[in-house]
Every structure is written in C-alpha cells, then in structure tokens.
C-alpha cells in the first residue's frame, strides 16, 4: 500500500533545490545593464524568457548561481519583452530561472527550461534563454519533471493491490496553469519495482476531474483527495497543491482510491 512515507526523493530534491537557490539570504540583485537582450557580451549573462507559446514572459526570476561558493548568486527579472541582462563578477556560474503563478487560489513556483545548462565563466559571459514548459524532464536533473506529480495512495479498506492495472482519466476543467487548453489524459502507474510505481509523473498542472477504472475487471475505482471523502459517482475534481502543500511534496496531488462497492 502506498502511504505518505512514499513521498519521492524527486519531490524532496526539487523543494530543497528551489528553496536553496531562490530563498537563501546570500543572493544579491544584479547590476543590470540598461541594454537588455539575448546577445552575449563579455562579462554579462543575457537572454530571453518566453512562455509555452513562445511569447515574452515578463517577471520571471533569473538566477546566476556560483558553482564554487555556497549561497552566492545574483538574480534579476525579465522585462516586459522577456529580456534580462546581468553584469557578472569573476567566478564560475550556471543559470536557472523560475516564475511564480497564482492559479485557482493557489500559489505555484515553476522552474523554466533552459536552452543550455552548461556552466560559464563570469568574465566570458553567456546567453541563456528560458521557456515555460508544462511537461518534460529537467535536462540536468534526472527524475525531475516540469509537470506535476500524483501519488496514488490505496485506501486502507481497499483490496486493489495492483495499482499498475488502474487507468486514471484526467479531464481538464478550465484552462491549464499557463492559460492553454488542456486535453484529456489517460494515465497509469509504473510497474512494480519501477521508479514510477504508485505515481503518475509529469502531468501538466491544471484542474482536473479524475475518474478511474480497474482494467482487468472493468470495475469503477473511486478516487478522492487525501483525507477527503468519496463522491457518489466515484470521481473527484482537484487542483495540484502549490508551494504551500500540506504534505511533503511540491506541485503535487495525492489520490486515495478503492474499489466501488
């Protein structure tokens, strides 16, 4: 049976990584050059931030993290055209970025995908562009995804021990977190002993009506929010938890399930 102690290392790594990079007290605001843009000049980190449709994304936080010194980095924000530019001191750095987004009354912190993850010398400068994507694996963080994660937690009264044979249908209710139209997803847990066993990974963050069926028997499987109650039709409509989740997870959802009586 899946329980809360099964919270994944991926979620914990993500929480520590983002918090350490972007909430630490050792950061400093950059001395931005007035000219913004994505053309590298010596001694500057520059680039452009776009949304999932390729449009400029203002207000994203871009951070240049010193790879040699702990708790030492510079940060800035993208401008109205999605551009940013940071004057870099000597040292070796890598660039990361995120956005904060409010959605259905919850606050989210979302990592942005870089076009290049390589470290660079501050004296040389670099161009690093970022895009907001809803799914996909982090290029430099194996096992971490841009989408949300759903933990599947078997009800204490259930005898469905083969969660890998349950098909979960996620039907979007309204637009996704980036404003785009979602599509209905049919998802299954990974096989036993796999990294994704008891989990649905990389789900675009949005609000979904969720239903489930045990495929070998065709029986309806009831689903509910963790510590919630089952609806008469066995479905549940949920958002992902944001940065203030009550559980030890980040951009997550926890589903309890049992066979319908």
Q: Are residues 119 and 161 in the same domain?
A: no
Domain of residue 187, CATH code: 2.60.40
Q: Is residue 137 part of a domain?
A: no
186: Cβ contacts below 8 Å, ≥ 6 apart: 167, 168, 169, 170
Number of structural domains, the chain?
2
In degrees and rounded to multiples of 5, residue 164 shows phi and psi of: -65, -15
**What average pLDDT score do residues 128-150 get?**
94
CB contact at 8 A, 182 and 176: yes
Question: Within this chain, do residues 160 and 96 fall inside the same structural domain, yes or no?
Answer: no
CB 164 within 8 A of CB 154: no
Give the residue from 71, 96, 131 where a domain finishes: 131
Do 124 and 167 fall within a single domain?
no
Domain with 203 in it: 148-259
Q: Structure tokens of 15?
A: 């929480």
- 9: pLDDT strictly greater than 70: no
Confidence tier at 260 by pLDDT (50, 70, 90): confident
Distance CA 110, CA 38 (A): 22
Judge whether residue 8 has pLDDT over 50: no
Residue-averaged pLDDT of the chain: 86
- pLDDT tens for residues 186-199? 999 999 999 999 99
**Mean pLDDT, range 64-90, rounded to an integer:** 91
In a domain, 87, yes or no: yes
What is the rounded CA–CA span in Å between residue 244 and residue 175? 22
Q: Is residue 138 part of a domain?
A: no
Report d(CA 177, CA 155) in Å as an integer: 29
Do 113 and 168 belong to one domain?
A: no
Reply yes or no on whether the pLDDT at 53 is more than 80.
Answer: yes
Whether residue 7 is contained in a domain is answered as: no
pTM attached to this predicted model? 0.82
Q: Are residues 85 and 159 in the same domain?
A: no
Average pLDDT over residues 152-173: 96
CATH code of the domain covering residue 53: 2.60.40.10
Q: Is residue 253 part of a domain?
A: yes
Question: Which of 131, 160, 183 finishes a domain?
Answer: 131
* Structure confidence at residue 40 (pLDDT): 57
Tens-place pLDDT, residues 19-28: 444 444 344 4
- Percentage of the residues of the chain whose pLDDT score is greater than 70: 85
Are 181 and 248 in a shared domain?
A: yes
């Amino acid at each position: 049976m899946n329980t809360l102690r099964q919270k994944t290392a991926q979620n914990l790594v993500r929480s520590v990584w983002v918090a350490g990079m972007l909430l630490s007290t050792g950061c400093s605001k950059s001395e931005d050059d007035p000219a913004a843009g994505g053309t590298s000049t010596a001694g500057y980190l520059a680039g452009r931030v776009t949304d999932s449709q390729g449009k400029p994304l203002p207000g994203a936080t871009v951070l240049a993290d010193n790879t040699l010194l702990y708790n030492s980095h510079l940060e800035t924000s993208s401008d109205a055209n999605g551009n940013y530019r940071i004057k870099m001191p000597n040292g070796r750095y890598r660039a990361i970025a995120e956005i904060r987004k409010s959605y259905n009354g919850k606050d989210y912190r979302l990592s942005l995908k870089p076009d290049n993850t390589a470290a660079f010398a501050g004296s040389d400068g670099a161009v690093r562009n970022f895009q907001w994507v809803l799914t996909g694996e982090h290029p430099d963080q194996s096992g971490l995804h841009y989408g949300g994660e759903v933990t599947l937690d078997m009800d204490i009264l259930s005898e469905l021990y083969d969660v890998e044979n349950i098909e979960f249908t996620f039907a979007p209710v309204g637009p996704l977190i980036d404003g785009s139209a979602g599509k209905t997803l049919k998802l299954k847990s990974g096989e036993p002993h796999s990294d994704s066993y008891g989990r649905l990974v990389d789900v675009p963050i949005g609000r979904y009506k969720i239903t489930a069926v045990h495929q070998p028997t065709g029986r309806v499987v009831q689903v509910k929010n963790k510590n919630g109650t089952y609806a008469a039709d066995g479905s549940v409509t949920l958002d992902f938890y944001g940065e203030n989740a009550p559980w030890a997870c980040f951009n997550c959802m926890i589903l309890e399930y049992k066979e319908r009586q």
